[in-house]
Structure 1
């Protein structure tokens, strides 16, 4: 099916040109030849509605080849203007080089037919056949060049669209990875606290009410954090932004430490230096680094383990050190491939321009060190 724009072009161009061509054909070559010229012009104008198809170009070329064969005065037909349009369209939307070849061959054949036409010789009409060939060749080359230019534009637009699709796919993948990291951090820490509380409750029945309250509070907070992480997947972007709960940061570290202590892990918090603005992303990363380190200690460190969280505000960056003693998370985490938590932690830190180091101390224990630069 032809495009609506091409049908409009064919109609707008065809009405005046075809009408004039009919008049010129009837007055110049009356009889059967006039009918043949009118018929070929009509076919050529109809083919313009399908100008983006290669076959339409050859239909137009064949129509004007018939005109060249019928009369050397074909140039007086206004419909001849369709041939450069066909060359342009084929070069832009179809084949690259055949339009130029056909155009140059058509210019040569037309000039030769003009030079050998008896009516032209009898009337002593000009111009010189060589000059006519140069003019027709120039028109064909110009139309072909504009077609290639349009072809390049369309290719560039397609490239931009492909890049936009790739960028959208990458953004989607990055958002999924972000949500996966958030879900891991929230669920892993909450479950670690719940498991530790439940394990402790087996040996301390008298604290059952306190332990159950802690489990309930941890579960509620985990549910709230999960809603904040995946809310964007369920609602429109504007609604999700409006409903999104504030993400945790360094201001929430005391609550995290207290919650971890309530799970049975002694945590010592040390802060040195004056605080500097980190920016929302780095602030969240700092919280998640400490959360993941404490979660690993809860899950993997042995009985009697303790943890130390040190925040040191230097002149150019925040240094975070989270270490455990009395047990070792290293045996589980580094006995094989690094877990998803550590991989996600490293991605977070690198994303804000920071550096993460995870190691096992010779004396036992697991150390997580992160350097987060300040917001510039």
Structure 2
């Protein structure tokens, strides 16, 4: 934690520096002035423990101002090393420019005090006051520059964290949308088949056993697909503990089963395959399956009695073209509905395009173009 690290830094640096400063102050300045120097050093060392707060710099600056007022020889105190640290910390964590302004002003005042102090003149000590001012100003400028560099680092790290949070939020939203699409496709198709079977069973009591068997198979398949769709939400350790395995998501190999379920619901569906099959990624195969499933579900719900459908898989040079059409009544809006919106999102996610239209002679057409795996 930053607060704890600052306390540790203040203790580790403070113990040797403050001890030496007490010895120097007592030996160099007699009487009350020594007590003032020791007290100012102690306040400065305590303030360093709060160096990330802007006020801590001004406390340190005030403490060394006391030392300047007491003696021009204050620079010999080891605790004076705290001032560059305070300048650095203020530039990095607090207001940007006050530390530089106060530091340069302090350098000028210290050099002037050094030049006019009687004890300095009596001892005939150097260096030249102008040289001293340049040295102090350089130390302040360097500490301030390092502080700005640290400030930039912290800002960059915070920017990366913010981008990471935004990316995580987008990934979470995308995963939720994906699961919502999977759930919608599975449930919508299963319910469409079940409703169609139940409606047919009302008018054909003699086939009730066959209808119920179809409904059971459809429900079981829907449950299996739902488990596969939401299986990604399970944590790997939980799967290892329970011994469960995720069901594979459907692909091209599952299209015959899908068409058979649709036919059992009362919709005559023909399948046409043109060209030589080429490899698709598992994600693209899932998109093909869901496009066909959603289109047939819409046909079951909206095409009306006696309608039939056709599924065409054309393995063209530029990609797989999937066309699902029916000859029923106009089957609803070409742009509305969660299913059609999800279909467009799925196809776009794998680099494809989809077109949904109503034919003039009647019927509904869904045409998707999907790229091959490269």
Shorter-chain TM-score bucket reads: over 0.9
Distance 1:240 1:354, change over 3 A: farther
Provide the secondary structure at the position in 1 that maps to 2:365: strand
- Distance between the aligned counterparts of 2:138 and 2:269, measured in 1? 85
Corresponding residue number in structure 2 for 1:364:
362
Provide the secondary structure at the position in 1 that maps to 2:277: coil
Provide the secondary structure at the position in 1 that maps to 2:50: coil
Distance 1:22 1:345, change over 3 A: same
Corresponding residue number in structure 2 for 1:132:
132
- Distance between the aligned counterparts of 2:316 and 2:238, measured in 1? 39
Provide the secondary structure at the position in 2 that maps to 1:30: coil
Q: Is the 8 A contact 1:304 1:327 kept in 2?
A: no
Give the drift of 1:221: 1.2
Give the drift of 1:313: 0.7
Structure 2 residue 244 is the aligned partner of structure 1 residue 236: no
RMSD: 1.4
Task: Give 2:266's match in structure 1, choosing from 248, 260, 264.
Answer: 264
Corresponding residue number in structure 1 for 2:195:
195
Q: Is the 8 A contact 1:45 1:82 kept in 2?
A: yes
Provide the secondary structure at the position in 1 that maps to 2:276: coil
Query: CA deviation digits over 1:316-374, x for unaligned, max 9?
Result: 31111100003331xx234xx51110010000000000010111111110001011100
Q: Is the 8 A contact 2:279 2:372 kept in 1?
A: yes
Q: Is the 8 A contact 1:353 1:372 kept in 2?
A: yes
- Distance between the aligned counterparts of 1:7 and 1:136, measured in 2? 27
Corresponding residue number in structure 2 for 1:179:
179
Give the drift of 1:237: 4.5
Structure 1 unaligned segments of length 5 or more: list them.
Answer: none
Q: Is the 8 A contact 1:2 1:50 kept in 2?
A: no
Query: CA deviation digits over 1:290-321, x for unaligned, max 9?
Result: 11110000000021100000001112311111
Query: CA deviation digits over 1:217-255, x for unaligned, max 9?
Result: 11111122222222344x325546963210000100001
Q: Is the 8 A contact 2:18 2:41 kept in 1?
A: yes
- Distance between the aligned counterparts of 1:128 and 1:318, measured in 2? 85
Corresponding residue number in structure 2 for 1:326:
328
Provide the secondary structure at the position in 2 that maps to 1:243: coil
Q: TM-score, normalised by structure 2?
A: 0.96
Corresponding residue number in structure 1 for 2:310:
308
- Distance between the aligned counterparts of 1:119 and 1:322, measured in 2? 100
Give the drift of 1:168: 0.8
Corresponding residue number in structure 2 for 1:284:
286
Corresponding residue number in structure 1 for 2:371:
373
Corresponding residue number in structure 1 for 2:45:
45
Distance 1:278 1:232, change over 3 A: closer
Corresponding residue number in structure 1 for 2:150:
150
- Distance between the aligned counterparts of 1:353 and 1:232, measured in 2? 23
Distance 1:228 1:240, change over 3 A: farther
- Distance between the aligned counterparts of 2:320 and 2:239, measured in 1? 31
Of residues 26-35 and 252-261 in structure 1, the stretch that sits farther from structure 2 once superposed is 26-35
Q: Is the 8 A contact 1:231 1:240 kept in 2?
A: no
Structure 2 unaligned segments of length 5 or more: list them.
Answer: none
Provide the secondary structure at the position in 1 that maps to 2:314: strand
Give the drift of 1:88: 0.5
Q: Is the 8 A contact 2:229 2:249 kept in 1?
A: no
